[in-house]
Amino acid sequence: MAVSDYTGQAALTAVDLVNSLDVITGRDRLRDGEDAAALLARHHWEVGRTVSAADLERLRELRPRLRFVFGGTPVQKSVADLNALLRDLRAQPHLTDHDGAWHWHYARPRAPLGERVATSCVVALLTAIADGGAGRLRICDGADCANVFVDASRPGLRRYCDTKSCGNRAHVTAYRERKRTRSVG
Ligand SMILES: [Zn+2]
Ligand SMILES: [Zn+2]
């Protein structure tokens, strides 16, 4: 998988992985190999119906280390941690044309799935920091939401993980607040 810009699928994979564990309610949507396969398939990774226990474990333990770099962690700390992760993963960037077009792979050749996904996620977040600054890695402003997101919008003013749910909910709350203040006054 290639990471050409920080809106790429690897960055979305990283975000989806982190958000699979709701740190407010403790609800975990990455409980078994099938959960992991479904999440990865959403981001066009080639996987079967399930992933191995070792791959699942790799992805589960990656989540807190990826979450760490969102929401205002000092950039030096984030970069040092992500670089260390790449070292742990024994990343080995190389160019390949296995599917007919030259593109980057970041993991060791024939690395297991969990390692390939982890490596791509880390590279994507480092690329996001290099391209847009660490401030682009945010936590949702929604009241009951701690989802992370990468703000790839041009102005860089995005506040919510998903404008369809959290953003709307915030608008509705603000609207009700205004109405209530008006009727009281
Ligand atoms: Zn490839
Ligand atoms: Zn949210």
Q: How far apart are CA 145 and CA 62, in angstroms?
A: 20
Enclosing H/E stretch for 105 = strand 103-105
pLDDT in tens, 164-174: 788 877 777 77
Ligand nearest to the CA of 165: 2
- Taking the CA of 24 as reference, the closest ligand is 2
pTM higher than 0.85 for the full model?
Answer: yes
Give the H/E segment covering residue 18. helix 9-19
Q: What are the residue ranges in the chain where pLDDT is below 50?
A: 1-4, 185
Ligand closest in space to the Cα of 168: 2
Homologous superfamily of 9-184 in CATH?
Jann2411-like domain (1.10.3300.10)
Instruction: Give the pLDDT confidence score for residue 185 in this predicted structure.
Output: 46
Q: What is the distance between the alpha carbons of residues 58 and 32, in angstroms, rounded to a whole number?
A: 12
- Beta-carbon neighbours within 5 Å of ion ligand 2: 140, 142, 145, 147, 161, 166
Alpha-carbon Rg for the chain in angstroms: 18
Distance 78 CA to ligand 1 centre (A): 27
What pLDDT shows up at residue 54?
A: 97
* Domain map (residue ranges) of the chain: 9-184
Ligand (nearest to CA of 101)? 1
SS3 at position 153: coil
In angstroms, the CA 4 to CA 88 distance is 23
What is the whole-number distance in angstroms between the Cα of residue 160 and the centre of ligand 2? 5
